[in-house]
Structures are given as C-alpha cells and as structure tokens.
Structure 1
Amino acid sequence: MKINRKSILKAQISLGSGLLMALSLPAAKAQTTYELNEGWLCKKASTVQADGVKMSQASFATSGWEKATVPGTVLTTQLNNKQVPDPFYGMNNQRIPDIYKVGRDYYTYWFVKDFKEAAPQGNNQVYLNLRGVNYSSDIYLNGHKLNARLHKGMFLRQRYNITKWLAKNGSNRLAIIVHPPDVVGNPNGGQGGDGTIAKGVGLQYTAGWDWIQPMRDRNTGIWDKVIIEKTGAVAVISPHVITLVPGVRQPEGPQAPAIIKVAATVQNPTAQAVTGTLRYTIADGTVSKKITLKPSSSLDVQLDDYVLKNPKLWWPNGYGEQNLYNLRVEFLTADNKVSSKEDIEVGVRQITTNWNEKTESRQVNVNGQKIFIKGGNWIISDAMLRFSDMRYDAEVRYHHDMNLNLIRIWGGAIVERPEFYKACDKYGLLVFQDLWGSGDCNGRWVDPMKAEDQWTRRKYPDDHDLYMRSVSDQVKMVRNYPSLALWCGGNEITPPQDILAALQDTVFPKLDPTRWFVSYSNSELMSRNVLGGNGDGPYGIQPLSVFWDFKTFPFNSEVGSVGVSDYTSLKRFIPKENMVAPEFDASTGKSKVDSVWDYHKYIGYDGFIDKYGKVKDAEDFANKAQLVNYDQYRALMEGFSSHMWDWYTGVIIWKTQNPWTAMRGQMYDYYLDPNACLYGLTNGSQPLHIMYNPGDGMVMVANNTFKTHTNLMIVAKILDLEGKETPITQVFADVTPTTTKRYLSVKKQLDEVAKDKGAFLVLQLQDHTQKIVSENIYWVADAKGEYSGLKSMAASKVTATAKKVANGKVEVTLTNPANAPLAFFNRVSLVNSNTKERMLPVFYNDNYISVLPGTSKTVTINYDPKLHTATPAVTVSGWNLKETSIAVN
C-alpha cells in the first residue's frame, strides 16, 4: 500500500466539529491537567445491547459491570478481577484463552468512566487526550460520538476538544469501545508467531518470541494515559526545543555559549481571532513574539534563538553531570493572561555521529567528545504494559548502576513513554530508538513458521499511511528529551521502501532534524566488518577468551549470553515440583530441561556450570550460575573495551532486562531483583578500570573518561585457595582519555600457581594517595579448566555489620581477618525483618563481592522508604559462607 504523501507529510491537525485528531498531544505538562486513572468500569462488548450514544449517558445503568484497570489491557483487568491466573507464573499462561482461537470478540470491551468537569467559562477550552489505545476505538461523551470514524493505531494518540459536550451540571460520562488488532497472528512458536501480527502498526512480541510466550489478548485495551487538559482560548501544541553546543567541550569548567532554538504550534479553536504573545523562558532569558491567530486555525511559530551563556551541559552516564534546565513555552493573551503553557526539562547538549575509518563503524559524539557506547537492549518494561514511574526509574537506574551509557529500544515493541525518557535524562542513558518492525516478522529471512512469503511480509504493515502518521506523532512526543540520541527504522530490517524514503527525506528532516536516522539496527551504515557486511550476536554462553580475542562487528547492536537469576528469584515463578536443575550431556551437547524452565525460555549453560562441581539440585545450580553470569558479562564488556577505537566504537548487550519471567538475557529479573550479571557488568564497565585478558594474561587499563590519569599504581598479585599471597608486580602507569592501554602479562606466573587447584588473580589500580580506584578479583581455573580448589575451599571467617546512615540508606561492612581464606563471592540482600523476603527494588553500589584477607569492604544500599515501610534487615551469603542475618543498627 502506497503512502498518501500529502496527507501525512503536512502532519497538520484538522479543526472542526469539536474534533482535534491525533498528531498533536503535548509531550510536556500543560497548564492544567489531570489523569482519568481510577473508577473505570468495563464489560465484554458482545454482552452489551446498547450503543455508545446510550452508554455514555448518565441514565444508562452500569450495575453489574466489572472494575476496569485503566491505563491497562483487558488481560490486566481480568487478572486484577481474578478471572485468570497470573500468566507469568509456571504454566498459567497456557490456561488463558488465546485470541487466535477464541476470536477478537472475546477481548473486545467497553470501558466507561464517570468524571466531574464543569463546562468552562468564556473562551476557555477542555480537551480529552488519549495517549494510547490498542488497537481501534470509538469514543463517546455524554451521548455524543467524538471521532468521525473508527480510530485505528496503537501508537497514534487522540486529542478531542470536548468543551461543548461537557454537561452543564459537571457530571460527565465517557464510553470507549476497544477492539483488538485487526490481525492477531497465530502464536505457532515462531518469532512473532506466524508473523501476521506485523500487519498492524503495533507490538510484535505479543504473538510470542524466543524470550517470551504470547500475550493472550495481544495487549488490547486503553493501555496508556487518559488525560483531561484545560486551557484558555489558545493552546500551545508540540513545542520543539533544539540545543546546539558548538566545539569540543569538557564536563567541568567555564563553557562557551550554547544556542537554544524553540518552535511551537499554537491553536485557536474559537470563532474569534486572538492576538497575543508566544514566548519561552530559560534560565534568566526570555524570547517572545507577538502573533494573531485567525478563528479556527493553527499556526507553526519559530521563535528567535537564545544564546545561553556558560551553560551547564548534559552528559551521558560516566562522562559528566546530567544537568537539566526548565524551559517554559506559553501563550499570553492581549490582557497578559496565560492561556496555555508547556514546561519542558531541557538538557543542553549536542549529539552527532560520524564514520570511524579505523573501526569502520559509526561513532557517537556528545558535545564534541567521542563516547564509547556501552549499551543494553531493552524490550519493554512490562509485557502486559503495566507501566509506572517507579518501575521506569528503577530499571533505568539499574542501567546507570551498570555503568552503561545507552539503551536501545528494540523494534518489536514501542516508542518508549515520556516517563521512560525522563528517567534516561535523569540517569544519563542515551537512547537508540527503533521504529516498529523486525527482520523476523517483516521478511528478512525465509521462515517456515511464517504464514506469508518474504515478498508479502516485506510490505507489512498493511496501512502505510497509518504507520507514517503514527511515526510523526511519536516523534513529536519524545523529541525534546536530551537522552534521545538515534532513530532507527527497524530491528534488522528497513521499513518498506516508500516508508523509508518518507522518513529519510521528509519526516525526520522536518520534525527532528538534528538526530541521526539509521535505516535498520545492524545496517552497514552503522557497522561494517572485514567482509564488508554486518550483523549481530553471538547470543549464547561463550568461553571468556572469545569476548577478548574474537573480532566481531565493530558496532555490535546485539551480543549477549545467559541470565538465570538466583534461587530466591526462581521460586517466585517456578512451582516447587518443577524446581529441577537442567542436566547437561557433554556427549550430545544438549540439556535435559524441566517443562516450566523450557516454557520460560531457559537457554543452556552447557558445561560451564559443571566446572564448579556436579550440581546437587536447582538451588545449587542457580548459585553456581551466578559465578558464570558474573564472569560472562564482566568478560563481555572488558573484551569490547580492550579494543575500543581499534576494533569497536560500541557494543549493546542482548539483552539487559525481561518484561516477564524469562530465564535468559537479564541483569535483573521481572521483579526487579538483580543477579550477578548486573554486578559483573558493573565491574567490567567501570569508567576507569583495571582488567586482564584470560587468553594472553595481559593486564590492561581502560579509561572511559575525558581525563588523563597520571601517577597511578598497578598492583598485581595471586592468592591461593588458602589465602596465601604471591606478589607479581607493582608498576606506575599513566592513561590518556578514552583509551585502553596494555601493560604486562601475568600469564606465566598465574598458570604456575593455578595449575593444581586454581587461584585468584587480584588486580588493583591505586591513585597517588594509595587509595584503590579499581579492583578486580578473578577466579582462575586449574590446568584442566576446572575450579577444583573452589569445591573444597575453607569456610569464610568474614564478619558483617549493618547500620542505617540516612533515611533509605544502609551501609553493610564485611571484614575478613588476616590469615583467613578469601571471603569469596558474597551476596548482600536487604530484607524485610519480619518476613525475611527481599525488599525490591533496592540498589547496591556493588554486590557478589569478594573480600581479601586482612581487609574490609562496604556495600552501600539505597531504597525508597516510602515504598518500603517495614523495618529492614540484611542477609549475607557467599560461596564459602552460609547465609546469615544481620540486624540494621
């Protein structure tokens, strides 16, 4: 289907009949807004005899209707009403009717909401804004249908002027019928099921993927916010802020000026012309322009630039502060009254990309400085679209704590919500935002699981016009967030050619001209290997040397490993009878896996677990898996960092989170409980980091900062299993900004000490005060490649104390006496002192830590005391330490 270019590319908003269609919902908080998020009722549409006109009138009885969750999906409402079991537990998802079998009517629902809002006085206006309905809907208010035709599109927002339809007594009723996607797809086990889910402009994972089971209702519902907005006669719509930071900047010290550019659309739905002033303020500066709006008209206004002196700049995580300014755009009427305003948090920064000839890949620059990309792939916060500010903040904070600087939003999900971007602004995570499409569903490969051939799938979605209008709308929604760095046409495949041409030639040049748009995630314009092509992976468990010595794609958009969480996590979603450890058969290279583990997408650890000793049970398996997890992700980031600007300009891990209870590719579980993957990655991603290559034994220092670090001391020593120390060397070192430097090999000495039972390699980087600025403790296998010494390691003698140092902050100190063995791989957990259950989410500055003989380490724990009101306690357990509980003093 070809695009009607004129209708889309103008991206204009029609006015008339009290209706303002999509493409215009403000991305920032308007003058007076509130959400309709409580008191909704719903009923299956097939059981309702009346139409929307009758249902949206107060006289229509809703007795017997069910309580509805809005924002939310039909399945979320059913779950909250205890009509279905938790689909994330065990095999429960198989007990829920799938829409492909029961039909679309089964999940077609009416939603009704009564709310108070009096008709405004004078020329004041009231708008109804729906930020996301999946998939099509009709909207009625007080007996009037608001939309002229069925509204379609999961990502196309809706905005209606409801001023003249508000009840005189202020008691209003809203009725919305929501239909599922037109084509729901057969969940046949393929990536996106049979692929036909991609015929619509919506989510693709909902028909199942290799990391998730199908969402039975395909996420039908009023899934995003419903907002009432009140303005004066004129509304400010879709303001656009661009910041230009010329030159090469440093995070600290005086700054040359930056340039602020602001544009906005203003709308006058009234029957009279309105004259007033459009202005914006930032810091101590104000820029304004007097304008006159004709009746029932809108106007795009470009305001004069503002020169911001000595700006406080916004930087990615690890490179500088995330400074934010409040910028207000407002329209003032002739009598100097505010008619409408938008408050926007602005990060003053400039992002550019260029081709790195050395690596043959794309290089990302912020404020003139090159940034080595250390990223994580993100699907969606919750597979059932149960979003919250708290969850967004916690998940993005985990990425910050892992010392990552980018999150890529995968193309089978959504353009992420403003609340997600707000968290990324706060924590300094750049965002690589895919548009909707995947190589699996959209035809890149021959796939016998797909219902249609590649040529047909290549044309998905069916409605190109809807796709383009949705893109334009979503760009306007998120373009002001400084964390947004790159736009991408799709996951591993471009959109259809007519869509791609419009995106490249018109949409992004017009709506977001300063960000780079790449046609697909592993495009040759992003990265090119020695054979002239590009790709991604590998995805499974690897020998550690592979991450260091095997040259993969120079900007790898997806590379990852395993990710089973610990036993405490597994118990949350695996029934007791299914808590059976996988059994790996080295002769066949396959594992025998319990049905629930398999349903939750377990991928094998192969023989890596066995190197720590024969597994006793599921708990033992999960504990040993954490050692493997830590090693895998530390080595992954260290290996890529060791070749930055030589082989690589960036790497993005597949993947760092799961939107349901899966068992692969996650640094923390669905319940926001971190596992050892997170802390291995935290270690390997340190901005200033000492490390060693397990292949050639080379000790290196990676410096992912803009500072030159001089007069550092490298300390290398070996610790045997009893705690006896063998010094290797101490050597002074200097390291220049954004580089990795090789120093010496410890392979010969390490192999000699480790050959019988294994050993520990201790690397420290000390500053001129002899303070340790980076420490790395590696456990090294014996000559046979096994960790034989760990199997018989003496019990730890470590002691622990915990004290509350501030509201929501606890410090736990682990002390290991001299002449004791290493206190190895200790997990610290904050728990409810009464139930002994872990408090979640909680943030640890480090975990799974090892404490050298004669030393102490302190773990700092932060939590939200408003979320966690119970008295906390602490548990500590380790490889050679039985779990012990400690009171918090």
Structure 2
Amino acid sequence: MIEKTVLNSGWTLSCNDTARPGLPETIAATVPGCVHLDLLASRLIPDPYIDVNEITNDWIGKTDWTYRCSFEAAPDDDRVQELVFDGLDTVAVIALNGEEIGRSFNMHRTYRFDVSPLLKTGANELTVSFRSAYAYGAEMEKHYGYRPNNYPGPGNLMRKMACNFGWDWGPTLVTSGLWKPVRLESWDRARLVETRVSASLAGGDGLVKIHAKVARHGETTCRLAAAIGGVTTTVVIRPEEDEVTFELVLPSPKLWWPHHLGAQPLYPLTLELIDDAGGDLLDTYERELGFRSLRLDTSADAHGSAFTFVINDVPLFIAGANWIPDDCFPSRVTAERYAARIEEAKAANIHMLRVWGGGIFERDEFYAACDRMGMLVWQDFLFACAAYPEEEPLTSEVEAEVRDNVVRLMPHASLILWNGNNENIWGFDEWGWRPIIKAGESWGLGYYLDLLPRLCAELDPDRPYYPGSPYSGSMEIEPNADAHGCKHIWDVWNDVGYEVYRDYIPRFCSEFGLQAPAAWATIEESVHDQPLTPQSNGVFHHQKATLGNDKLIRGLAGHLPEPKTMDDWHFATQLNQARAIRFAIEHMRSHREICKGAVVWQFNDCWPVTSWAALDSAGRRKPLWYALQAAYDPRLLTIQPRGRGLAAVAVNERTLFWRAKISGRRLKLDGTVLAEFEFWRLLCDRFEAKAFRLPEDIVSHDLPKDEMIVVEMLDRRAFHYFVEDIELALPAPRLAVDVTGTEGGYAVKVTAENFLKDLCLMADRLDPDAVVDTMLVTLLPGEGHVFAVKTAKVISANDIVVGTVLRSANDLVAGRQ
C-alpha cells in the first residue's frame, strides 16, 4: 500500500537577497502557504490588506526566496519513493540533499519527482528556491516578444494566477511559495498514476466510465476492483499493460439536480488496485459521483443560435455569478470557508458559479462542496484579458496543467462546462490588439480552438467545451453578439447608465455588473483614514478600477442625487449597484424564451475593496446580495415594458406550474388608489415566462412624480415607477421601530407611517458580526416589516438610527426635488 508522509512542518524561509535589511537569516514558514503570509506571521511586514500597505510590499514579488525543511526517511530498494508537490508558486528549483531533482514553471499543476536514489537514512534536506516572477517574466518577454495584456505584469507569459499582478478589483501581491501540500509517497509493485472517471446516464441507468493508468515497480499482475451502489466489477491488468478502460452500470440511480430543482444524491465510488498474486492492496481511489445528463444546446433558431444548458433534459435559465479567488493568498481559504461562501451563494438563489479564468483551478474542497449543495460550476481555463504566446515552453505547460486539472475535476457532477478563455477573442477582435500582434504571431487562438478542445475530447468527452466568454460560436461572427453564444455587457458601468441593460436581449449573459463599496464595517477594519471620504488615501487605494469613483457617481446620474456625505456616498452607491443588477436580471428573465442565463460579475472578493461583488472579502452581504436573492427567486414577478405599454411578467423556474390571481393598483405615494384591476387566474407553466398586459388606466398617469404601480400575485409583489427617484416625490421617512429579543438575535419591526422605498437595515453598523435576513424592502403607508437580525450584541430601538442604521431611498432624495 502507498505510504504517504505529509511534509507540513519544520519549514523555514530565507530571503536570497542578502542585502535586504531588517530580515533575519531564517524565518519560520508554514506549508501550505506563501512568502507574504510567513513574513506577516513573523511581523516582518504590515498587513497588505490594510490602508495603503500593499505598496510597501512590492519588493516581495521582486525578490528570490528559498524554503527549507528536514525530514526523516530511509532508502529502500524494494520501493519507489517520490516527492509530490500539489502546488508550487511558480518558478522554482527543487533540491534534495544538495542535488537538484527538478524545476517548476507552473502554479496550476502537480509535480512528482522520484527521489529513491537520493534518500539517505536519517535527516534529508529539502530546498525549494523560488525565482521572482517578475524576473522570469522579463526573460520570457525577450523569448516570446511582447503580447498585449490589459493588466500590468507578465501574467500572460507564464502559468501563474494572473490576478496576482493586480486587477481592477485586486491588489498587486505577487506571491511565491508552496501553496498546496507536499508529501513523500512510498510504494511498491504498482500504483494508480492517472484515474479518469465520468458519470452520466444511459437511459434510466447510471453509467460510470473508468480509465486507469498504472505505474510499475516490477512485473506484478494487478487487478482493479471497482464498486458503486452495490455494483462491482474487477479487471485484470497484466504486466505488459499500463492502462485499462471499463464501465459500470448502476440501475436506476436517483438523479442529481441543481439545488433549485431537486436533491443531490451522491454515490461513493471506490477503486482498489490489488496484487493479483498475493491479494495485497496497493492503491485506492475514492470519489462521490452524481448522475445527471448534460448538454449545451447551441443550435440555430429564429433568434440566432442558442446557448442553453440542458440538465436531465430540462432547459435551464442559469441564475449565476462569477467567482474569483476568495483570497489573494489562496492557501488561507479553508474547506469551511469554501462551504460558507457557497452556502451564501445558494441562499441568494444562485445556482451556478463561474470560476473565472484570471484566477486558479480551485481546490478539491470547492467542487466537492458544490456537488453536495447542488451548485453548478462553469470552469474557465486560465486565460484572461490578454494575448498568450503559443510557443514553447508555454504550450507544454498549458497541456500539462490541463491534463492535471481535467482529470482531477471531471468526476464532479456540479461541473457543467469547460470554457476556453475570458475575453481574449473579444480583446483581439475589438480592443486594438490586431495592429500590435504581428502577422503570423500567436496570441492564444490555437489554445481555444485546437489544443483545449482536443484535450477535453480526449479526457472528458461527456462534458461540453466552449472556446470563450464572450464568443458567438464562430470566428465569422463578432464575438460579443447578442444573437449568438454568451455575451458580456460592459458599456453599462464603463460608459452608460444601467437603463441601457434593456437595449440587450442576449442569448446568455456571462458577465455584467456595477460597482459599490464594501460593507461599512469592512471599510473601517481595513482603512483608518481620518476622516473617511471617497477620495481619502486608504479608501481611494482600495478602489482599483480606472476612474472607478468617477464611474460610481456617473452611474447615479438620472437615478439618485449625487451624495454630499461619506455615509450617503456609501449607501447611494450600494443601493445603485443593487438596483442596477436587479433591473438587468429581471429584464433578462422576462425574455426567458430567448435568454437562458445571467451570470453577474461578481459574487465574492479577495480583499477589502470597492468592487462589483455581492459578498465582500469579510463575507458580509452588500445590498446587492439581497437584490440577487430577489431577482433570482425561482418565482419572479416583474413589471416590464412591452410595446407601448407595460406588462406584469411572471417567471417560473419551479417544477410545478404557478397559477394564481393577479391584481394591481395605480397609487399615489400616500396610498390613494387611482385605478385597479384583478384577473382571477394567471397560469405560468414551469420553466416559463408569462406576460400579462396591464390595463390602460393602470399604465397611464396624471402626476408621474407622485404615482406608482403595484402588482401582486400570491406573495410576490412588483413595483413600477413612472420617473426615477431623483424626480420622485419621496417624503422624508416617518416610521416606528420596535425591537424584540429572539433566539440568537432580535426582531426589528419597522412600521411605515408614509411610503418607504428600498428600506435597508445595515446590520454591520450595529455589530460587525451581525447579519440581517432581508433588505431593499418597500412599504406602503401603514405597512410593516420585521427584519430578523442575528447578533450577540445587546441592541434596543434607540440603536436603530434612521439615516445611519436604517436607510432608504427616501433619506437620499426627500427634499431635493
């Protein structure tokens, strides 16, 4: 049996720049980890997430570093002994007992070195010497020539997490280190060197395909025993063979579904490699498999060509969000943190996360949590916003990392797409790259249209591959077309207001977003400016988008007044972000017959920053989180323009039809009814959007700034306003607050004495650890709402301060018309 010795203790770190002042000769090191975390743990650098400390740490990524450890071992002629590095970041020389055993050039792959001849009895000295990524990048630019990159640094010239070098939401913290586990593996006779497992459906049965390769030490005949759900089989692997392919059929398994449609039954698969002569167990492989059918429909239709995920023969509307690395230092992300983040996505009614191509292939714990929770995963290959050379040594590194990660991730039921790149085809076509890239010079297209699809077809043929996001299915069609493939919408945010979202009906929108600052408590924890202002040094430094603060204010234009205070700036921009994305999603969902997915940019953050995220780096919910929860509700009621009028659109993603009375009123803001209607039963079938045209006396108006439409269907309610808030006659808020203790927190009841629009209880202003269940609540005069607040802190009604803790559009707008 394989013996595994984890080498996670006794490591030290040293700086190879002996002229660097203030550093000890050796520094205690943690593996898995990175240089920044080791320096931080030893209090040798300030926390790069705080204030403007990021810039004081630039030198770390420009310096060479060496990790060392000593471990006990002994030579053994009867066994193969290998050092296995699950993740080396990035360019390194590995030596054992003073002799080089290998080199790494890729953060995204596993390295394995046979050290059998080099081990000695007793202490063995292992060193891993990392070269500066900047120095290596400069060398590679001379080798390949210049390639366009939308962001600083040489991330497109090496296989390293691209956003390490900075992004429009992330800092420049160029890491190095052993970011995944290291171990010594000792084995005899044979081991499993590659195991490819896929699970699909064959009619009503589950089909498991297994392709196993073995490495050998000797001439042993082996057998591979497989078992799943009570079904077993055994195949023999003779000495002259090094691989075997076979299948298991599991009768009538329960289907695996995304969480909004059903359960996620998982079936343990076990493989045992056994010495056929003696019966000794040599190696094992274990995974949990879910059974579901999957295809991506890109067929031509009356609107262009589809981009529809079909799971278990159900064409889905994808309610999604983009996922970036959850920390600039990925080794800090624990299995518990993965699970907590995915639970937050699930609670927001998100059922797909797109793992974006400027980051990493996440660790196994991420995908396993998605399997358990019914969270679909779209996985980018790691190419983003840049042109990539296709010459050696990069091409071989790309192939090696793809083989590693496709084989590693393909058993996961949650994984539904391999995507070739993020915005690179679009960049070549529309971002001015063509004149820069010389005729005949590579820029990555060969990866997206040849190498990657070939490798996916070889290794994982049962899962769809798509060349890029955005991409229209053909190089003959502009890559970001509305009518074909997947689309990104970025003129909203960059150039125009969010009302422009209605100009598009994409087949599938895989990126769109608007920025807002992090939660107030997160800003206070990470920035210590006195006073805090949008332009103060720390706040401004934690805004990485070009002209980001200017775009925040421009995005308010026509919707909300320009704020005069920091508190109002913070709330107004958060509110505008939430409204913009809800506006976009409801529009796209109302056109379900054409558009089959919305994947908002972005779900999470990697550090405390003003960004597009719904959940900030501390895991605190921004108002956008609550807007996503509402907009992605499987049963949505929304009011949308149709022709010259308005329609109430019911959208149903549940497995049962939705049939109910629909009623509506045109009201004055004081609650006076001006017109009303009632339709006894509107029937919206499952997986359908059903429009109900509103009567003329409902959609007409007398005084638009003082009127609104309210439509109700069972417990769903939709509002429509004839003018934007900046023109709306919103009154100064009048309300009553009552606070009652509950188990684990408080019930905060707010009763509206006048019309309150988008009422928010900012729980972190009460307690940094507090969480509130709802936000963005609109109340008619006399109505009440109970906010459930989880907190260990004692609070009273006096703490619920209007204009600080309790916010609404009213207190931004009232009196300014």
TM-score interval (norm. to shorter) = 0.7 to 0.9
Structure 1: state its 5+ residue gaps.
1-29, 49-61, 248-255, 443-456, 584-591, 767-771, 805-809, 863-869, 885-889
Secondary structure of the residue aligned to 1:536 is strand
Q: Distance in 1 between matches of 2:779 and 2:391?
A: 55
The CA deviation at 1:125 is 5.7
Q: 1:83: which partner in 2?
A: 44
Whether the 8 Å contact between 2:318 and 2:597 is mirrored in structure 1 is: yes
Match status 1:484 vs 2:415 = yes
Residue by residue over 1:69-100, the C-alpha shift from the partner in whole angstroms, topping out at 9 and shown as x without a partner, is: 3222222222222222222222222222347x
* Matching residue within 266, 278, 298 for 2:214: 266
Aligned position for 1:352: 295
Alignment match, 2:637: 690
Task: Tell me the amino acid that sits aligned with residue 89 of structure 2.
Answer: N
Indicate the residue corresponding to 1:560 in structure 2. 513
| Alignment of structure 1 residues 13-28 onto 2, 5 Å | none
Work out the CA distance in 2 between the residues paired with 1:642 and 1:622.
30
SS at match of 2:525: coil
* C-alpha separation in 1, matches of 2:668 and 2:804: 21
Which residue pairs with 1:825 in the alignment? Answer: 759
41 and 408 in structure 1: CA distance in 2 versus 1, 3 angstrom threshold? same
**Correspondence for 1:9:** none
Letter in structure 2 aligned against 1:415: F
Match of 1:96, SS?
helix
CA contact (8 A) 1:133 1:222 kept: yes
CA deviations over 1:505-553 (Å, ceiling 9, x no partner): 6311211111222222212118773687985212544655433x31253
Q: Answer with 225-234 or 79-88: which moved more.
A: 225-234
Match for residue 67 of structure 1 among 28, 32, 43: 28
SS at match of 1:580: coil
Question: In the alignment, what sits opposite 1:546?
Answer: 500
Matched, 1:286 2:232: yes
The amino acid that maps onto 1:571 is E
> Which of residues 45, 53, 61 in structure 2 aligns to 1:92?
53
1:714-725 mapped onto 2 (5 Å cutoff): 714-717=662-665, 721-722=669-670
Question: For the structure 1 residues 632 and 227, does the alpha-carbon distance in structure 2 shift closer, same or farther, using more than 3 Å as the test?
Answer: farther
Q: Deviations over 1:267-306 (max 9, x none)?
A: 22x2x32233201111111121122336xxx722112x22
TM-score, with length taken from structure 1: 0.77
Aligned to 1:257: 205
Please provide the CA RMSD for this pair.
3.8
1:361-380 matches, within 5 Å, as 361-380=306-325
For residue 628 of structure 2, the aligned residue among 662, 681, 685 is 681
Query: What is the alpha-carbon distance in structure 2 between the residues aligned to residue 228 and residue 848 of structure 1?
Result: 54
C-alpha spacing 1:286/1:880, structure 2 compared with 1 (3 Å): same
- Tell me, yes or no, if the aligned pair for 1:347 and 1:482 is still in contact at 8 Å: yes
State the TM-score, normalizing by the size of structure 2: 0.83
Residue in structure 1 matching 2:355, options 405, 409, 412: 409
Does structure 1 conserve the Cα–Cα contact (< 8 Å) formed by 2:663 and 2:678?
yes
* Matching of residues 128-143 of structure 1 within 5 Å: 128-141=83-96, 143=97
Return the match for 1:381 from 322, 326, 345: 326
1:536 aligns with 2:471: no
2-side partners of 1:366 and 1:259: how far apart?
16
Does 2:424 correspond to 1:468? Answer: no
Gaps of 5+ in 2: 426-442, 807-817
Q: How does 1:304-343 map to 2 (within 5 A)?
A: 305-334=247-276, 335-343=278-286
Letter in 1 for 2:727: E
Deviations 1:418-451 (A, max 9, x none): 222122222322222222323x420xxxxxxxxx
Distance (Å, rounded) in 2 between the aligned partners of 1:376 and 1:153: 27
CA contact (8 A) 1:629 1:680 kept: no
- Separation of aligned partners in 2, 1:34 and 1:372: 46
Residue from 803, 811, 822 that aligns with 2:742: 803
Please say if residues 31 and 178 of structure 2, whose CA atoms lie closer than 8 Å, have aligned partners that are also in contact.
yes
Q: Which residue of 2 aligns with 1:41?
A: 12
- 2:586–2:638: 8 Å Cα contact kept in structure 1? yes
5 Å-filtered alignment, 1:100-119, equals 106-115=62-71
* 1:242 corresponds to: 198
Change (3 A) 1:750 1:178: same
Corresponding residue of 1:728: 676
Counterpart check, 1:847 vs 2:780: no
Is the 1:751–1:783 Cα contact (8 Å) retained in structure 2? Answer: no
Q: 2 CA distance for matches of 1:156 and 1:639? A: 41
Q: Which amino acid is 1:838 matched to?
A: P
* CA displacement at 1:755 relative to structure 2: 2.8
Aligned to 2:600: 653
Return the match for 2:175 from 198, 208, 219.
219
Deviation at 1:742, TM superposition (A): 0.6
Q: Does 1:569 align with 2:515?
A: no
Spell out, residue by residue over 1:666-690, the C-alpha distance to the aligned partner (whole angstroms, 9 max, x if none): 1011111110011101100111111
Aligned to 1:201: 159
* Whole-angstrom distance in 2 between the partners of 1:79 and 1:322: 41
Structure-to-structure mapping, 1:599-610, within 5 angstroms: 599=544, 601-602=548-549, 603-606=551-554, 608=556
Distance 1:563 1:312, change over 3 A: farther
2:768 to 838, 845, 848: 838
The code of the aligned residue for 1:242 comes to S
Secondary structure class of the residue paired with 2:342: helix
Deviation (angstroms), 1:559: 1.5
The aligned residue for residue 373 of structure 2 is 427
Distance 1:561 1:502, change over 3 A: same
Q: How far 1:405 moved relative to its partner? A: 2.4
* Alpha-carbon contact 2:748-2:789 (below 8 Å) kept: no
Number of residue pairs the alignment of both structures matches: 762
- Partner Cα distance (2:795, 2:190) in 1: 56
Alpha-carbon distance, 1:700 to partner: 0.9
CA displacement 1:135-160 (0-9 Å, x = unmatched)? 2223234x26462x423222221123
Partners of 2:199 and 2:411 within 8 A in 1: no
Q: Distance in 2 between matches of 1:811 and 1:682?
A: 22
Q: Per the alignment, do residues 611 and 525 of structure 1 end up closer, same or farther by CA in structure 2, a change over 3 Å counting? A: closer
- What does residue 580 of structure 2 align with? 632
How far apart are 1:404 and its partner, in Å? 2.0
Q: 2:5, 2:669 → 1: CA distance?
A: 62
Contact 2:86-2:110 within 8 A present in 1 as well: yes
Change (3 A) 1:632 1:715: same
- State the AA in 2 paired with 1:466: E
1:205 counterpart SS class = helix
Q: Does structure 1 conserve the Cα–Cα contact (< 8 Å) formed by 2:519 and 2:616?
A: no
Is residue 689–residue 703 contact of structure 1 (8 Å, CA) maintained in 2? yes
Alignment of 1:488-503 (within 5 A): 488-493=419-424, 496-500=444-448, 502-503=450-451
Tell me the equivalent position of 2:615.
668
Partner of 1:789: 730
Deviation at 1:850, TM superposition (A): 4.7
Measure how far apart 1:783 and its partner are: 7.5
Report Cα offsets for 1:806-845 as digits up to 9, x if no partner: xxxx4754445597765951326379xxxx64228x6x65
1:738 has 2:687 as partner: yes
State the Cα distance separating 1:875 from its structure 2 match.
Answer: 8.3
Give, in whole Å, the separation in 2 of the partners of 1:845 and 1:234. 54
3-state DSSP class of the match of 1:789? coil
Deviation string, structure 1 residues 376-424 (Cα, Å, up to 9, x no partner): 2222221233332222222222222222222222222222222221222
Q: Is the 8 Å Cα contact of residues 169 and 544 (structure 2) preserved in structure 1?
A: no
**AA partner of residue 704 (structure 2):** K
- CA shift at 1:322, angstroms? 2.1
Q: Which residue in 1 is equivalent to 2:812?
A: none
